[in-house]
Structure 1
Amino acid sequence: MTELFTDTVLNMMTTTAEPEDYTGEDGLLYCSKCRTAKEAYFPKETAAWLGHDKHPTECDCQREKRLECESAEERRRHLNTVMELKRRGFTDLTMQEWTFAHDNGKCPQMSKAHLYVEHWEQMRENNYGLLLWGKVGTGKSYFAGCIANALMEQEISVRMTNFSAILNDLTASFEGRNEYIEHLCRFPLLILDDFGMERGTEYGLEQVYNVIDSRYRSRKPLIVTTNLSLTELQNPQDTAHARIYDRVLEMCLPILFTGKNFRKETAQAKLNGLKELLK
């Protein structure tokens, strides 16, 4: 058994020599390309036990090739991971294009999105959320999408959805309602887009509260975008809305989005382009 083990070790230590490799003055095999050793000596004690004084080692060009292969494999693994996170994290594929790289620079609040990502560990540890409020088309959803994409690029799981989609899912899977809400709360960051636009039925409001309250109790960050004003959120119309809005205001720092309606600008630019084509 000992002889078999020794033979196996010795076979593993056999250095493959290329035709132009050469033996140096120290008795070691050298690579003809990079002129660095492809062998190294064992310590005397080890050599005496094995009856063999050399073992293979990487020359510089072998090491460079191995590192390149490992790097390429790591890039493939990372890209596959990010693609899967984005597939599961967004309800709309167009959200994958909402990135800092595609930012047109017109949103004055965007620097805060960069800071949120840069200090993500602190945001997560302290359960710091954001309430993005302001008029329609001022860049709130894009701001949130930039944060989501940037964190996913770091292989951090994020879910960006809205209550219309959540309520549809809950209606379709009534028996698994608790499991569905628990699943939402497992994401390190949850983003709720267009908050306040969902239907205001008794059932709908109850489920909205269940999601918000469960997220609150999970002590994980929440980002909310809404077209409601801060005054509306601070002065709800009834008790059902009050307990929802109170939770959101407790969890999230309000950030006002001002400026032009980007959607109107985009629509007008398209219209002007069409007019030019039709002249």
Structure 2
Amino acid sequence: MLFKFPNAEKSPGDYMHEGILYCGHCKTPKSCRIEGIPALLPIFCKCSKESYQRMDEEMKRQRELAKIEKLKQGLHGAIYHKFVFEKDVRPDSNASLVSRGYVSNWEKMKEGNIGIMFSGDVGTGKTFYAACIANEIIEKYKNSVLMISVSEIINADISVKDELFEKISAVSLLILDDVGAERRTSYGYEQFENIINLRDLSGKPLVITTNLSIAEIRKPPDIAYSRAYDRIDRMCPQKLVLTGTSFRKRIAEQKRRKAMEILGEDCI
């Protein structure tokens, strides 16, 4: 059976010139002739090439967005998704500069297994900066991140916990939020030590946020936590102590003022 070559198809506005079909829109050839082949063979005109390139770029963009969306499933908390450097109200603070520098030098941080400890009182921005790092690493490097509180891991159902422990070892960056706030039980300690041990053995970076001071990490009141905290101290050589007005109080005040503008002072 002989192969039948396809003929170039003529669309409205197209025209023939010297035996070649031209696109009526971009005025470039839509066909060509090859010696020995009677058919007028189709080729891409300029606007068709550009159209396919746009389609290809859009498909790549959609694949990138889908990949990022999947990676962001590792952020266990809707609030984590909202924290980005663009919303930083203290861009000149040491915590902000170090966090941004950590992201800019992520490949070196990852290779050197260098983590960060964010320490400070409630509402000072520890979780905010940790989540900013998480979102930026996902967006910029397409690397996997697991950001989760220690309590959520400890209290997770056994079927979920197995998957979480696999991720603790596998992800490029593990961020443990609110270290020290978990229930102080023998089971809780055992699970916490397993988490830190797994991450330590993975040789990958760890970032933590905690209300505990650096002194409490190095000399914990509860001696049972000494070994795990000693590992954290080693795994997170970059330590940032955040102070100042509570982010939450500041946001609450901003909302109160906004409500006053809308409803009037007498209603607040």
Task: Kindly indicate whether the alpha-carbon contact (under 8 Å) linking 1:157 and 1:189 is maintained by their aligned counterparts in 2.
Answer: yes
Partner of 1:139: 125
Determine which of 107, 119, 127 is the counterpart of 2:113. 127
1:231 matched to 2:215? The reply is yes
1:239-258 matches, within 5 Å, as 239-252=223-236, 253-258=238-243
1:215-226 matches, within 5 Å, as 215-226=199-210
Alignment partners' CA distance in 2, 1:206 and 1:146: 30
**Partner amino acid, structure 1, of 2:235:** M
Alignment partners' CA distance in 2, 1:55 and 1:225: 65
Partner of 1:96: 81
1:103-132 CA-partner distances (Å, limit 9, x unpaired): 233671212222222222222222111111
Secondary structure (helix, strand or coil) at the match of 2:245 reads coil
Report the alpha carbon displacement of residue 243 of structure 1 after superposing the two structures with TM. Answer: 0.4
State the number of aligned residues: 261
Report the alpha carbon displacement of residue 52 of structure 1 after superposing the two structures with TM. Answer: 5.3
Partner of 2:27: 35
Secondary structure (helix, strand or coil) at the match of 2:177 reads strand
1:85-234 matches, within 5 Å, as 85-86=71-72, 88-105=73-90, 108=93, 109-154=95-140, 155-169=142-156, 172-173=157-158, 180-234=164-218
1:262 matched to 2:247? The reply is yes
Task: Kindly indicate whether the alpha-carbon contact (under 8 Å) linking 2:146 and 2:167 is maintained by their aligned counterparts in 1.
Answer: no
Tell me the TM-score normalized by structure 1.
0.83
Structure 1 portions without partners, runs of 5+: none
Give the 3 Å change call, closer, same or farther, for CA 111–24 of structure 1 in structure 2.
Answer: farther
Tell me the TM-score normalized by structure 2.
0.86
The Cα RMSD (Å) is 2.4
Secondary structure (helix, strand or coil) at the match of 2:178 reads strand
Report the alpha carbon displacement of residue 30 of structure 1 after superposing the two structures with TM. Answer: 1.8
Alignment partners' CA distance in 2, 1:206 and 1:107: 40
Partner of 2:11: 18
Structure 2 portions without partners, runs of 5+: none
Identity %: 37
